[in-house]
Amino acid sequence: MPHLCTSAFRALAFIGAGLAVAAASGCTQPLPPAEEVVARHMRSIGGMQALAAQQYRHTREEASGPDGRPAMTRDVYRARQGNRYVMKMEAPQTGPVAIGYDGQTAWMMDTVVGPSIQRSQERSAYDFESPINFARLFPTMETVGRDTVNGESCIRVRMVNARGDEVRNCFADDDGLLIGATVRSTTGVHTYVGEVTYHDYRDFGGIKMATRTSTTSMNRRNEVRLVSVSTEPIDASVFALPAEVAALKKN
């Protein structure tokens, strides 16, 4: 009965094709939308409620160069009210540099050009939540694929800020934490491209932050260590305009 045999073979082929399709669909699961990936990361570091409870943040960082020697110290002060911000950095090559925003005026001071008012500076950079809540800093976000960072699988999310700078963050599959990023930023005719990895998350005031960050750019590797984080109130005088900047406003 050749027709029965032929029918049997056809049936087996049909079943085999069905199993193959099922297997393929299981291997190519659709990627989650960017908003879902970012929301999971936010939950992993402590959640929006814990972030909303913070009104102040003072972070201190130390950076080392490729040779392991200290290269920079940086203190960043933030206040939620008015998105007030002050960053004070000191490096052997440049001397002290300070950048700030008192809720109205963005300014900068360094030993080379002196005091200046930053009229075109993006105000979103001073947003109290922007270093942690990506949605506040990046209006454009999209999931672009899967990747591996230091042997750990992750989901890549392309993010673009209002200036057009692009970051491709990678969030770990197992816990949703940010573990890597590819950064592309353009200022004038210069374009910066760097690879960043984030390590050793710790809890500070209910929010987890990476305590070690490694950056590689132009074959140079730098390490930044988060020394301390305080969420205690910061005196208003810290955010006041320096006298030199206040004088510029009067002119």
Q: Supply the pTM of this predicted model.
A: 0.81
Scan for tokens 């008015």, then name that residue: 82
DSSP assignment of 70-128, as one string?
EEEEEEEEEETGGGEEEEEEEETTTEEEEEEE-SS-EEEEETTTEEEE-TT--GGGG-T
Partners of residue 217 on adjacent β-strands: 220
Residue 170, CA distances (Å) to 135, 180, 197 in order:
15, 5, 9
Please check the confidence at residue 15 and state whether its pLDDT lies above 80: no
DSSP assignment of 131-171, as one string?
TT-HHHH-SEEEEEEEEEETTEEEEEEEEE-TT--EEEEEE
**Can you tell me the distance from the alpha carbon of 219 to that of 217, in angstroms, rounded to the nearest whole number?**
5
**Lowest mean per-residue pLDDT among 11-25, 51-65, 105-119, 183-197:** 11-25
Q: Which residue has the higher pLDDT, 38 or 111?
A: 38
Look up residue 51 and give its amino acid: L
Q: For position 195, what pLDDT does the model report?
A: 93
The pLDDT tens digits for 50-94 are: 999 999 999 999 998 776 677 789 999 999 999 999 999 998 777
Q: For position 71, what pLDDT does the model report?
A: 76
* Nearest residue to 201 (alpha-carbon basis) of 176, 218, 182, 222: 176
End-to-end CA separation in angstroms for the chain: 103
How confident is the model over 20-43, as a mean pLDDT? 76
Q: Are 71 and 90 in contact (CB under 8 A)?
A: no
Domains located in the chain, CATH noted = 34-250 (2.50.20.10)
Q: For position 130, what pLDDT does the model report?
A: 84
Q: What would the two tokens of residue 225 be?
A: 């260590």
Please check the confidence at residue 28 and state whether its pLDDT lies above 90: no
